[in-house]
Amino acid sequence: MAVENQTLGAQGQTSFALTYSYHLPVGDGILSLGASGGYVQRSLDGSKIRTPDGKYDELILHNDQTLPDTKISGGGMTFNFGAYYKAEQLEIGISALNLSEQQIDLNGNVAFQLSRSYYLNLGYSLDIGKNVVLLPSVLLKSTFLQTQIDFSALFRYNDNIFVGGSFRGYNSETIDGVAIIGGFKLNEKITIAYAYDLTLSELSTVSNGSHEIMLNYNLGKVIGKGKPPHIIYNPRNL
């Protein structure tokens, strides 16, 4: 189950989804297949909107018939699918969100389109020293109209402490930002991490970066931990 609530300026989004995953051994790794379905509600608070021709003395008057004066909302169903394969050193994942591309109407004049988006993740684990592992990865995000790529690398010590960074963009037109990441595992269930994201695009004129703190608690087992060992046949002569 996943629940999300987000507010960005005059816009808001609340979503609820039920998820299911299935794991099976494939070769030397584990293949995980997952699907989810749920409900998404989008909202627009017209009282927080300001237009160049509007008047905002005592009453809210946008002088734009498409914009509301109060808060409006609407909702619709959404469906997602993903697959993830993890071996001892290699991991690869692919997923698709908003498969139905639901259009959410708020009041007949304002509508949101949930665009179908695709994600591809590649990662590799490389031992570079005693108890030190380098984890390079690439994350591709695309709607086929817009594409963004993240390049990341983490150094993990003793399978516990990790530090690294990431870079968003693949050419001069898509460079967006760089992030510094660090954290540690308290135990197999709990992980704490911090990231500072610095904007490099034109948005840097209005954004000084963002701080992100993550607290992760794993309710299930580590992927692959429950995989039975290989059968060893030991013939005996009686």
CA–CA separation, 3 vs 13, rounded Å? 11
Residue 204 is classified by DSSP as G
Q: Is 109 left (phi over 0), alpha (psi -120 to 50) or beta?
A: alpha
Structure tokens at 48: 């927080």
Residue 61 is classified by DSSP as B
**pLDDT tens-digit series, residues 147-162:** 999 999 999 999 899 9
Domain ranges of the chain: 1-89, 125-228
CA–CA separation, 49 vs 43, rounded Å? 13
pTM of the model: 0.78
Asked if the model's pLDDT at residue 238 lies above 50, the reply is no
CA distances from 146 to 117, 151, 178 (A): 10, 17, 19
Structure tokens at 11: 């816009």
CA–CA separation, 35 vs 21, rounded Å? 7
Identify whether the C-beta of residue 156 lies closer than 8 Å to the C-beta of residue 183: no
**pLDDT tens-digit series, residues 167-203:** 999 988 899 999 999 999 998 889 999 999 999 988 8
Q: What is the pLDDT of residue 176?
A: 92
Give 31's pLDDT tier (boundaries 50, 70, 90): very high
Please, which residues bridge with residue 129 across strands?
Answer: 132
Asked if the model's pLDDT at residue 67 lies above 90, the reply is no
Q: What is the pLDDT of residue 125?
A: 95
Q: Where is pLDDT greater, at 85 or 70? A: 85
Mean pLDDT along residues 79-90? 95
Assign 3-state DSSP to the chain and report helix, strand, coil percentages, each to 5.
5, 60, 40
Asked if the model's pLDDT at residue 227 lies above 90, the reply is no
The percentage of the chain sitting over the pLDDT mark of 70, rounded to a whole number, equals 92
When the pLDDT of each residue in the chain is averaged and rounded to a whole number, the result is 89
